[in-house]
Chain A
Amino acid sequence: MRNSSKTKEVLIYIGLAIWMIVNLFPVYWMFTFSLKSNPEIFGDNVIGLPKEWLWSNYTTALHTGNMGLYFMNSAIVAISTIIITLCVALMATFALTRLIWKGRKTLNKFFMLGLTIPIHASIVPVYVTLSKLNMLNTYWALIIPYSAFSLAMAILVCVGFMNEIPRELDESACIDGCGVFGVFFRIIVPLMRPAVATVGIYTFLQCWNELMFANVFISKNALRTLPVGVQALSGQYTTEWGPIGAALVLATFPTLFVYIFLSKKIQESFIAGAIKG
């Protein structure tokens, strides 16, 4: 009895370890080939650590490959989206949880529809509208749709947190002479920090990795975001894998870096986004 449970445990750990390797290998391989020369990647040393650490792959990716530019574009789009999503969602949540009016429950449900609407639904009309407004090939062409599609999840998370803030705080602030805006900005918003972090992280990851809109709404090289830029770059460097590897690492590095420090928070934000009530 004792023995069989021991073997079972060992088998479980072997299984877990194998799956761990399956998950780590592609990332490990990406890091190593980003530092290798073609002869190493293509024959001498396919899987091992680089014999000669070729940092020049990174300079190639950054300079001739424009990775620095794409990186900036992605950062601008992601940060603007996060700010807009948070402002709009916090305001809407305040109206949905604090202000008193009929139909706020229905409206909340209406917003939650956004969790299930696929981005395909809007691609043609949004493309046509953006082109009529001459807004294709601008940052706004991505920021506005991204904010709209992040809104449902942001409201979902914010409503949860805002309901936890005791109403007595509002009342005492009122007695102290705060108006509605005073309560909102001085009492509610500062207490919403955990929600802001959750929404911010989730929204960041969604924008940072989004491909379909970024590919369709932006065709100017100068405005491309990372996913589209990496695609373009790999088209240019089909035979040189080193610089492509470097570009992949550059695109992935920020997310993994943040993940190392905030793994728990990031996981929570994904759980919050999926499991509604």
Chain B
Amino acid sequence: MNKMYSNKWYIIIFLLPALILFCGVLIAPIGASGYFSFFDWNGFTEKTFIGFSNYKELFTSDSIGFMKALGNSLLLAVLSVFLQLPLALALALVLGKKIKGERAFLSVYFMPVLISTVVIGQLWLKIYNPDYGVLNVALRAVGLDNLTHIWLGEKATALGAVFVPILWQYVGYHMLLLYAGVKSVPPELREAAMLDGASDGQVNRYIVLPYIKPIIKISVIFAVTGSLKSFDLIYVLTNGGPLHATEVPSTLMISMLFLRNRYGMGSTIAVLLIILCFAFALLINLVFREED
């Protein structure tokens, strides 16, 4: 059998489809994006090599507003790590303790993750609708008329209004990962601590949290890289508006490509996004290693 399993032809036949698909769609395009980012190119006519000009323009031009867009997505990352994750962790810790209705709560909390972001976006568009949306209707019903806003249309409220559904939708995702971690804590560890008189809080603090640290790390990485890449809900809710108040790198990239036909600049944004995602993933890995 070993001889048969070492036959080169079989190895090639079994690997080839995956290699072609993987390299053709994922690996080669990264290189191509990097290459395009050095050109001024509208996608149709000849490319002109312009070195790092795209990068320079991106970081300095106020009219593109890349720094603002990046700032928005970093703000989302911060909110995600310091609001969304703690909430998800709290839910995971509570549900991981074998309480009544555990499965029901878990399943409902995870549900928004499965619903298409376009559907979620359309729903929240309706919730935020200035005239008939649930939010303003409710505010008027309790006499808080002065708190009503054109939530997605005013520069001051748009960013916050866009962030709420993004953060809301993925609480369940992080909760599920962390819950799986909490469930994997050996019961003996928990029981031993309880016998020593540890309270629930202490068990969580000294037994559960250290045990699930690797999963917390994964959650933080997903929260940060997910925020950097965020696109769907913003595209549906505001598409970067009003007056670029809710622009993030991805919406900027799409408008560069398909509204302004600036393929070189679009590629530059894509390359920077990949670099940022990997850089943050490495950084978070380092931070978690330092703590040990």
A interface residues with partner B (beta carbon < 8 Å): 12, 16, 19-20, 22-24, 26-27, 29-30, 33, 41-43, 46-47, 87-89, 91-92, 94-95, 98-101, 107, 111, 113-114, 116-118, 120-128, 144-145, 147-149, 151-152, 155, 170-171, 174, 179-180, 184, 205, 208-209, 211-212, 215-216, 226-228, 230-231, 234, 241, 244, 248, 251-252, 255-256, 259, 263, 266-267, 270-271, 274-275
Write out the residue numbers on chain A whose beta carbons fall within 8 Å of the beta carbon of B29.
121-122, 124-126
Query: Taking the complex as formed, is B235 at the interface, i.e. its CB lies under 8 A from any CB of chain A?
Result: yes
Contact A29 B112 (CB under 8 A): no
Contact A211 B24 (CB under 8 A): no
The docked-state distance in angstroms from the alpha carbon of A208 to that of B101 is 30
Q: State which residues 109-132 of B face A: CB under 8 Å.
A: 109-120, 122-127, 131-132
Encode B1-12 as 1/0 by CB contact (under 8 A) with A: 110111110110
Write out the residue numbers on chain B whose beta carbons fall within 8 Å of the beta carbon of A227.
116-119
Contact B229 A118 (CB under 8 A): yes
Contact status of A205 and B114, CB under 8 A, knowing A91-B17, A101-B6, A148-B24: yes
Contact A241 B263 (CB under 8 A): no
Contact B94 A12 (CB under 8 A): yes
Q: State which residues 20-47 of B face A: CB under 8 Å.
A: 21-22, 24-30, 32-33, 36, 43
The docked-state distance in angstroms from the alpha carbon of A27 to that of B168 is 13
Contact B14 A91 (CB under 8 A): yes
Write out the residue numbers on chain A whose beta carbons fall within 8 Å of the beta carbon of B6.
99-101
Known: A100-B6, A180-B4. 9 other contacts (CB 8 A): A26-B112, A118-B229, A120-B270, A122-B29, A180-B10, A209-B118, A227-B117, A227-B119, A267-B106
Closest to B126 in A: A241
Contact A149 B26 (CB under 8 A): yes
Q: Which of B1, B124, B177 is within 8 Å of A274, CB to CB?
A: B177
Q: List 9 A-B contacts (CB under 8 A).
A: A12-B94, A42-B132, A98-B5, A122-B25, A209-B115, A212-B254, A252-B119, A255-B114, A256-B114
Write out the residue numbers on chain B whose beta carbons fall within 8 Å of the beta carbon of A29.
123, 127, 134
Write out the residue numbers on chain B whose beta carbons fall within 8 Å of the beta carbon of A251.
116, 118-119
- Interface-located stretch among B62-70, B148-156, B187-195, B272-280: B272-280
The docked-state distance in angstroms from the alpha carbon of A105 to that of B74 is 35
The docked-state distance in angstroms from the alpha carbon of A87 to that of B137 is 52
Q: Which of B103, B109, B116, B127 is within 8 Å of A252, CB to CB?
A: B116
Nearest-neighbour CB distance to chain B for A193, whole angstroms, equals: 20
Most chain B beta-carbon neighbours within 10 Å: one of A12, A19, A144, A216: A19
Contact status of A125 and B36, CB under 8 A, knowing A26-B123, A209-B117, A252-B116: yes
Contact A212 B118 (CB under 8 A): no
The docked-state distance in angstroms from the alpha carbon of A22 to that of B127 is 13
Contact A123 B270 (CB under 8 A): yes
Write out the residue numbers on chain A whose beta carbons fall within 8 Å of the beta carbon of B17.
87-88, 91-92
Closest to B105 in A: A16
The docked-state distance in angstroms from the alpha carbon of A231 to that of B114 is 18
Contact A121 B119 (CB under 8 A): no
The docked-state distance in angstroms from the alpha carbon of A46 to that of B6 is 68
The docked-state distance in angstroms from the alpha carbon of A30 to that of B10 is 52
Contact status of A118 and B277, CB under 8 A, knowing A24-B108, A100-B2: yes
Write out the residue numbers on chain B whose beta carbons fall within 8 Å of the beta carbon of A145.
25
Write out the residue numbers on chain A whose beta carbons fall within 8 Å of the beta carbon of B131.
42
The docked-state distance in angstroms from the alpha carbon of A122 to that of B15 is 22
Most chain A beta-carbon neighbours within 10 Å: one of B116, B125, B273: B116
Q: Which of A27, A91, A267 is within 8 Å of B115, CB to CB?
A: A27
Write out the residue numbers on chain A whose beta carbons fall within 8 Å of the beta carbon of B284.
none
Write out the residue numbers on chain A whose beta carbons fall within 8 Å of the beta carbon of B253.
120, 123
Query: Taking the complex as formed, is B267 at the interface, i.e. its CB lies under 8 A from any CB of chain A?
Result: yes
Query: Taking the complex as formed, is B240 at the interface, i.e. its CB lies under 8 A from any CB of chain A?
Result: no
The docked-state distance in angstroms from the alpha carbon of A12 to that of B95 is 10
Closest to A144 in B: B25
Write out the residue numbers on chain B whose beta carbons fall within 8 Å of the beta carbon of A101.
6, 8, 11
Nearest-neighbour CB distance to chain B for A23, whole angstroms, equals: 5
Q: Which of A16, A88, A128, A216 is within 8 Å of B254, CB to CB?
A: A216
Contact A20 B116 (CB under 8 A): no
Write out the residue numbers on chain A whose beta carbons fall within 8 Å of the beta carbon of B114.
205, 255-256, 259, 266
Contact A230 B119 (CB under 8 A): yes
Contact B21 A274 (CB under 8 A): no
Write out the residue numbers on chain B whose beta carbons fall within 8 Å of the beta carbon of A147.
21
Nearest-neighbour CB distance to chain A for B142, whole angstroms, equals: 14
Most chain A beta-carbon neighbours within 10 Å: one of B6, B18, B29, B32: B18
Query: Taking the complex as formed, is B209 at the interface, i.e. its CB lies under 8 A from any CB of chain A?
Result: no
Closest to A89 in B: B18
Closest to B249 in A: A120
Most chain B beta-carbon neighbours within 10 Å: one of A94, A125, A151: A125
Write out the residue numbers on chain A whose beta carbons fall within 8 Å of the beta carbon of B117.
209, 211, 227
